[in-house]
Each structure stands twice: as structure tokens, then as C-alpha cells.
Amino acid sequence: MAKKDYYQVLGVSRDAKAEDIKKAYRKLAMQHHPDRNRDNPEAEEKFKEASEAYSVLGNSEKRQVYDRYGVEGLRGGGSDFGFSAESIFSDFGDILGDMFGFSGGVSGGRQRRGPRKGGDLGLEVELTLQESFLGVEKEVEVERERNCDACDGSGSEPGHDAETCRKCGGSGNVRVSQGFFSMATTCPGCRGNGKVVSHPCRKCHGHGRVRENKRIKVSFPAGIDDGNRLRVSGEGEGGRQGGAPGDLYISARIRPDKRFQRHGQDLLLQLPVSFSQAALGDQVTIQTFEGAEKIKIPPAAQNGQILKIKNKGFHQVNRWSRGDLLVQVRVQTPRSLSRQETELFKKLRELEAGKGQPLFDGDLVN
């Protein structure tokens, strides 16, 4: 485990006076004390961290060693400044006692065994561009943990009740005493459940929980974009002790399409156009995701020019507005010419030369 800097943990400078270190510790200990933060492992961790830091910096001898050699110095070399998470509490039951108004010790953080919400789960689902454009319903499979239905989550074979844990008397916690200070920790006999399974359920082997694969129908709305996330309420891990299940989050990944691209809310399509179509204009029919669409190519259309068809782009998710369909003109140079076409192009070139249009010299050489 990587050790944090004790000064940072307490939020004091390296040359802080003993009194300020004590003050900083008191403040943190008050804030994160298990009695005030029930069922909050983060606070418990912070409380332990602060206590560990103070066990060193609050002792001038240990502090000197720490300043010179760091944590390693406190551990090694025969000079036993070692400490453990439990023993550190004993050192200053006094200042905690002060703080919380207890004289004979501080009561520890009892873990409540109430309902607990299940964890959230995440999935990634790949959609085609067309599916994202039109919206799609898909079945996804999620692997999750739920209460065992055979024993209703109790872990006991039906007909056999779990017995009250003898180690903790059913409270789920045991007290570790250190001098003035005692702290409740999760009972190792029952892992905090307060009960011990004597006849384990055959389906879940006494865990009360089973893993399952569930297929869930998910509706992806029209216009959903790459990276968008959907929340499917209640389809995550099952809750414990009657707690609500967690949620399932589904991220959409949109597979690139060969013909179409998404640009914001617009749908972009490259349209190959011949010389004559580009010069004279034309009307063509293209297939979009929604079916046939008539496109008018204006006369003198330029390569790269974009023709806009309003409101035929992507839907805004859950709104009425839409982007546009953008058709980009791609003028195609013919790859082979018939004899007749060759004749016509030559004629065309003569006409163009007559018009004085800029041509490269090489074009005139036959």
C-alpha cells in the first residue's frame, strides 16, 4: 500500500508546531469519526489515515525519524516505532475522549445492516449508423448478481433458518478494544450479517446470491450518437436486505458506414456525378436510411459542392428538430471512353479553346 505524506494527510506544513498538528488532527478526527459517519468506509479510511499520521507527527521522537527517513525509518532498524491500524488508536483515546465527551472510551462505528442498493453495471453496445439514425430496439445480455430465488437471499435451505451468530450475538459487529478507545469492526464469524447459515441453500451454496445472465430489451432512440449513455433503471446488481437494485448503463458505439457520415446532426453523403450531369444539372434518386430521396443537381454543379436537403438529417434525441441531409457532389472523370464519347469530348475541347478558357498546354497536344 502506498503511504501518503503524513503532513499532507493532516494538511499542515512540514514545520508546523506540535499544537497545530494536534489541532489539525482533532478537526479531521471529528469530521471523519466513525460515530458520525455510519456505513461510510471512505470516512473510516480517512479517520484511520489521519490517526496514523497523528500517531507519528504528534510524537516528537517519531516525527524526527519520519522527517529524516520517512515511513521506512519508523519501521526498520530495531528502533521499534512500528504501529498497526489498531494500536494507533490507543495512543490518544485521551484527545478523542476530550473531543467527544467520553471518559471511558469512544464507542465505535456500528455497521447498520439495513437495505443496501445494488451496484450499477455498464455495457457497451455497437449500432450501425442506420440503427442510430432510425432508432432501434435491441436485446442485450447482462451478467449480474441477484438474490437467490430458491432461498430468497437468505442463504439457508428452505425450512432451515439461519442461526444467530454466536461471536457477535447477532449484531454483526465485534469490538476491538485498545486502551481507552474501542472500535467496532465487522464480525468475522458472520461477515456482518449477524446470522450464520447452518444448512446452506443448495442453489447458491449459502451465499444468498446467484450470478445470472439476463436478456434485456433496450430502446435506442433515433439520433443517438457515439458515446451517448442510456440508463436502464433497476437492471444492475440486485440489492441486499431488501435494497433496491442498481442501474444498468449502456453506452452506444456507432460503427462507421461506407456511404454515410454523421456531422453533428447532419447526415452527409458523397454523390458521384458525371461531367455532363455536373454541367447540365440533373435529377437523381438516391437511397437514404429512410428510403428514396429525389435530389436536384443544379446546372454547373462544382466538385465538392454541397446540396442541402432540409430536415432529413439526424433527429435530436427526444426532440422534434432534425439536422439536414447534405449531399456532396463528386464529379467523376470517366475511366474509359467509347469512340463516340471521345469524338464529343474532342469537339468540346475545341469549343472550350475557342472560349479562351484556361487550359494546360499539354491538353492541346494530340
Can you give the binding site for Zn ion, defined by CB under 5 A? 148, 150-151, 165, 167-168, 187, 189-190, 201, 203-204
Nearest to 323 by CA among 269, 263, 276, 252: 263
Nearer CB in complex with Zn ion: 182/274:
182
Helix (H) or strand (E) holding 73: helix 60-75
Q: Please give the grid coordinates belonging to residue 283.
A: 435529377
Q: How far is the CB of 157 from Zn ion (least distance, A)?
A: 8
For strand 325-332 and strand 266-274, is the pairing parallel, antiparallel, or unpaired?
A: parallel
Contact call for residues 207 and 148 (beta carbons, < 8 A): yes
- Measured from the CB atom, is 26 or 116 closer to Zn ion? 116
Q: Distances in Å between the alpha carbon of 272 and those of 58, 140, 310?
A: 79, 38, 20
Minimal distance, residue 61 CB to Zn ion, in Å: 40
Three-state DSSP at 251 gives: strand
User: Cβ(168)–Cβ(185) under 8 Å?
Assistant: no
Residue 55 or 111 having the CB closest to Zn ion: 111
Residues 155 and 152: their CA atoms lie apart, in Å, by 8
Nearer Cβ to Zn ion (27/113)? 113
Least Cβ distance, residue 237 to Zn ion (angstroms): 16
Closest contact distance (angstroms) between CB of 245 and Zn ion is 17
- Least CB distance to Zn ion at residue 174 (A): 7
Nearest to Zn ion of 168, 295 (CB atom):
168
Q: At what angle do helices 18-32 and 41-57 cross, to 10 degrees?
A: 160
Residue nearer to Zn ion on the CB measure, 135 or 189 = 189
Compute how many other C-beta atoms are within 10 angstroms of the C-beta atom of residue 169: 12
Q: How far is the CB of 210 from Zn ion (least distance, A)?
A: 7
Residue 327, classified by CB atoms within 10 Å of its CB into exposed (0-12), middle (13-18) or buried (19+), is: buried
Smallest distance, Zn ion to C-beta of residue 167, A: 4
What's the CA dihedral at 155, 158, 163, 165 to 10 degrees? 0
CB of 149 to Zn ion, least distance (A): 8
Pairing of the two strands 121-127 and 248-254: parallel
Closest to Zn ion by CB, 187 or 269: 187
Which CB, 168 or 224, lies closer to Zn ion? Answer: 168
In this structure, which long-range contacts are made by residues 35-39, counting pairs with CB atoms below 8 Å and at least 24 apart in sequence? 35/100, 35/106, 35/107, 35/108, 35/109, 37/109, 38/109, 38/110, 38/111, 38/112, 39/111, 39/112
**Least distance between Zn ion and beta carbon 238 (Å):** 12
**Cβ closer to Zn ion: 167 or 349?**
167
Greatest CA span in the chain, whole angstroms? 111
3-state secondary structure of 46: helix
